[in-house]
Amino acid sequence: MTAKIADDLLALQRLYHWERSAPSRIALTQPMGGGAVQDFTWVQVGDQVRRMAAHLKAQGWAPGSKVAILSKNCAWWMMSDLAIWMAGYVSVPLYPTLAADTVRQILTHSEARALFVGKLDGWEGMKPGVPEGLPCISYPLSPVDAIQAYDGWDAICARTEPLQGEPVRAEDELATLIYTSGTTGMPKGVMHTFGNFAWALDRGIRRIPLTQADRMLSYLPLAHVVERMLVEHGWLRTGMHVFFAEALDTFAADLQRARPTVFFSVPRLWVKFQQGIHHKMPPAKLDRLLGIPLVGGLVRRKIRKALGLDQCTFAAGGAAPMPPALLQWYAKLGIPINEGYGMTENLALSHITEPGKNQQGTVGPAYADVQHRIDAQTGEVQMRSQALMLGYYKEPEKSREAFTDDGWLRTGDKGEIDAGGLLRITGRVKDLFKTGKGKYVAPAPIEDKLVMHEAVEACVVTGANLGQPLGIVMLSPEANAGLNNADARTALEASLEAHRRQINATLDPHEQMQCLVVVRTPWTVDNDMITPTFKVKRNRIEDVYARSYDTWENSGKTVIWAD
């Protein structure tokens, strides 16, 4: 039975609540370049949202029309979303790193009536994907040619009277289409209602302690479900203070400015933080210092402060598996990381480990009122809750395939639920491959170990029909930069070979990697090797490299340089 959502938990009603109850409190802090910032109070947020909503409403589009947002995270992104909702429309966020063809596919498929073009690094490459004649609105921090070509946010707000009253959207109304950054095929538009968000947030903050006093730094794409839920809807629900990151090279300063109390990141960035610390202090020395009672405490505090996480009371990771060794390393620093599990189709509200409990190696128990089970035939994790999508936009067949006959969401992940109700993810249902010896291999646990080498940025373990699996590793920019002499290359080769042997010693014979293949060409969103959230596209890797597998297998080498 579906529980009714309290009206005051819905997104627009939360905005009205903060407008009335905390008008002068700072809601958003936006970097403007050169160290300057612009603060927005709740009343200022409300005023700009109302003016933009009035402008959008005046276009006379049918209720429920789609309006898209293409921008890096910024204050205007969140205000655009609210304005779209207040005007009676549906928002369609796009990742700010997409290729032009994908931009066009999403804008066309969603039937977007307008597009907010915001803060972007690669606008020149994306611009050809915007259909001719589509009305566009620029932000104050948009690329210069977008500001020159399109109607501007500030100009629209200056000439438009704010929308009056408190327009509301019903809980069963469509709020947004979130196009998945899938590792296979073209993105699908996941349909979520206002009620879905409100219900998910209500259950989420029972596990994630978000309050009005919290601070978050918004830097992972708001087009992704976790940032949208945790930051945007967490902000609306609790009234916390959200800071935005300016750019990659200012990220350390952005973190220091925000000093977030709640911090979420993907595994790849947690690894980069670790590598940055190891560059300043070798692992052996750090371990030794952490083991000295008084000195260890000082070192921990110094590292947390240097990271900008000295005020962090809740840290989380997700979007891809967190290697257990990485979780243990951060726990030693006094930064326990809670590992979350979810997907766009369930608003990322499925499982998360519980603060203060040792649940490493699992993604914890299900959130309150979320049901989970394991399919007896396939081992697939299936779940259901009141935050499940309506389906995929204009894809009735794929929508049906996403659910079991009795209404449970098929996650595509394999897993196990222990006696305490903790879920352990063991791989993807479709990622299992069979070697030439007829033995099945689950690549994910091996990849968790392989990626822990400091020179490795990303990796894939593969080997369907080969005698033994092989690991393909992409080097980090730092490791690549250090390979300009033969000695450095020889040293790295020896280090990777030792890493391979060390991992193989922990694996069953049929799982052991015959060789590591070192790739120096970066896997990027542009070359379609990774998704915008840094998940490696396994199918694409196979397409690019599979023709070399036999050669690599028969080379007799244990570390092979692919390019």
CATH code at position 218: 3.40.50.12780
Q: How many CB atoms lie within 10 A of CB 169?
A: 21
59 and 134 belong to one structural domain: yes
Q: What is the pLDDT of residues 343-401, one digit of tens each?
A: 999 999 999 999 889 898 899 999 999 999 999 988 999 999 999 999 999 999 999 99
Contact 177, 92 (CB under 8 A): yes
Collapsing DSSP states into helix, strand and coil, what is residue 348?
coil
Going from the C-alpha of 257 to that of each of 73, 228, 250, 334, the distances in angstroms are 16, 21, 11, 21
Residues 235 and 93 in one domain: yes
User: Which residues of 405-532 form beta strands (DSSP E)?
Assistant: 409-417, 423-428, 433-434, 440-441, 456-462, 470-475, 516-519
Could you tell me if 223 and 78 lie in one domain? yes
E strand or H helix at 107: helix 100-109
CA dihedral 539, 544, 548, 549 (to 10 degrees): -10
249-263 pLDDT, tens digit per residue, is: 898 899 999 999 999
Please give the Cα distance from 19 to 163 (Å, whole number).
14
Report the share of the chain in percent with pLDDT over 90. 67
CB 241 within 8 A of CB 27: yes
- Please indicate, yes or no, if residue 175 is contained in any of the structural domains: no
Q: Are 118 and 138 in contact (CB under 8 A)?
A: yes
Q: Are residues 216 and 326 in the same domain?
A: no
Residues pairing with 409 in the sheet: 383, 403
Q: Is residue 159 assigned to a domain?
A: yes
Global confidence as pTM: 0.84
* CA–CA dist 121, 247 (Å, integer): 9
**Number of domains into which the chain is organized:** 3
Which pLDDT score, from 0 to 100, does residue 182 have? 57
CA-based nearest residue to 454, from 300, 252, 280: 280
Q: 33-38 — which CB contacts under 8 Å span 24+ positions?
A: 33/141, 33/246, 35/253, 37/257, 38/75
CATH code of the domain covering residue 461 = 3.30.300.30
In a domain, 251, yes or no: no
Binned at pLDDT 50, 70 and 90, residue 46 comes out as very high
| Residue with token string 């326990």 | 336
Integer Cα distance of 445 and 394 in angstroms: 36
User: How many whole angstroms separate alpha carbon 92 and alpha carbon 108?
Assistant: 11
The answer to whether residue 394 is domain-embedded is no
Beta bridge partners of 264: 316
- For 94, phi then psi, to 5°, come to -120, 145
Q: 435 falls in which pLDDT band (50, 70, 90)?
A: confident
* 43 belongs to a structural domain: yes
Tell me what the mean pLDDT of segment 30-38 comes to.
94
407 phi and psi angles, rounded to 5 deg: 90, 15
* pLDDT reading at 66 higher than 90: yes
| pLDDT, tens only, 5-20 | 889 999 999 999 999 9
Same domain, 105 and 40: yes
Residue type, 415: G
Tokens 């030439």 correspond to 436
Rg over alpha carbons for the chain, rounded to the nearest Å, is 24
Compare 533 and 193 and report the one with higher pLDDT.
193
161 in the same domain as 37: yes
Give the tens place of pLDDT for each residue, 452-487. 898 998 999 998 888 899 999 999 888 888 887 888
| Domain assignment present for 360 | no
Does residue 274 sit in the same domain as residue 236?
A: no
Cα–Cα distance measured from residue 25 to residue 28, given in angstroms and rounded to the nearest whole number: 9
* Nearest partner of 512 among 452, 445, 451, judged by Cα: 445
> What are the backbone dihedrals phi and psi of residue 540, each rounded to the nearest 5 degrees, phi first?
-70, -40
What is residue 1's predicted lDDT score, i.e. its pLDDT? 53
> 28 and 153, same structural domain?
yes
Per DSSP (E only), the strands in 101-193 are: 112-117, 136-138, 151-152, 174-179, 189-193
Q: Please indicate whether residue 54 or residue 466 has the higher confidence score (pLDDT).
A: 54
* Whole-number percent of the chain with pLDDT over 70: 99
CA distance 280 to 186: 42
Q: How far apart are CA 351 and CA 355, in angstroms?
A: 13
Structural domain that includes position 273: 268-310+312-341
CA 240, distance to chain mean position in Å, is: 20
Please, which pLDDT band fits residue 181 given cuts at 50, 70 and 90?
Answer: low
- Tell me: do 115 and 232 sit in the same domain: yes
Residue 482: inside a domain: yes
Classify residue 377: in a domain, yes or no: no
Look up tokens 């609105």; give the residue: 137
In terms of domains, do 210 and 287 share one? no
Q: Beta partners for 315? A: 263, 337
* Contacts of residue 252, Cβ cutoff 8 Å, sequence gap at least 6: 308
Q: Are residues 144 and 280 in the same domain?
A: no
Same domain assignment for residues 452 and 321: no
Cα(312)–Cα(555) distance, rounded to whole angstroms?
49
